[in-house]
Amino acid sequence: MTAPLKTLAFLLVAWTCAASTLAQPGPANPIDACLLLDDEGALGFGHAALLLGDDEQGWAYFSFGPRTGTTDVLHQLWFPTLDVARASADLARYDRYLLWTGGDRDAAAIARARADCLWAAAPYDALAHNCFHMSADVIAAAGFRIDPQFILPPDAFAANIFNAQSHGDWPHAPR
C-alpha cells in the first residue's frame, strides 16, 4: 500500500473509532489520567506509559513501543482498581507518576478509542512518534493539560510536573 493510501486508511479508522465513541454517552463522574515513567527504560532514555480511568469502571493501561516477540507496538492491560494496578508485576518497572484528576468521562472514552485505533496501527519512531508522544496525545484527548513537545520521557515528565495535580514515586500513587 502506498504512503498516501496508508495515511487515508489510518485517518478513516481514526474517524470511525471517534464517531462510534461519540455516539455512546457515558456517566458524568470524572476520571483520572496517570502518566507512568520508567527512568531507565528504552536503553536508559526512559519509557512512559499511561493509566486512564477510575476505580468505578476500571483503569486502562497503554504502553507504546517495540516489544520482543511481537509486532504489536501498543500494549494494553485492564485493571479493576488503581490498587490492583499498583500491585501489578506488569507495572513494577515504573519509578514515578504524574496524576491528572477530574477529567470528563466522555472525553476519556474518545481518548481510549484514539489509543485503540490510532496508536495501535501507528509506526513507532524513537524521535517523532514514541511512548511519550502516545501518552501525551491520549492525555490531551482526555481533556487534560500536558506539554507534548519533548522527545525523552524523563524530560517530558519534569516539564509537566506543574501541569498535573500530583506526582510522586510509583507505585505509591495517592488515592
pLDDT at position 58: 93
pLDDT score, position 70 = 65
Domain boundaries, the chain: 3-169
pLDDT of res. 124 = 84
Q: Which residue has better confidence, 108 or 72?
A: 108
Give me the DSSP letters along 31-90. EEEEEEEETTHHHHT-EEEEEEEETTTEEEEEEES-BTTBS--EEEEEESSHHHHHH-GG
Could you tell me how far CA 137 lies from the centroid of its own chain? Answer: 8
Residue 108 has pLDDT above 50, yes or no: yes
- pLDDT at position 88 over 90: yes
Tell me the whole-structure pTM to 2 decimals. 0.79
Q: What is the mean pLDDT of the chain?
A: 80
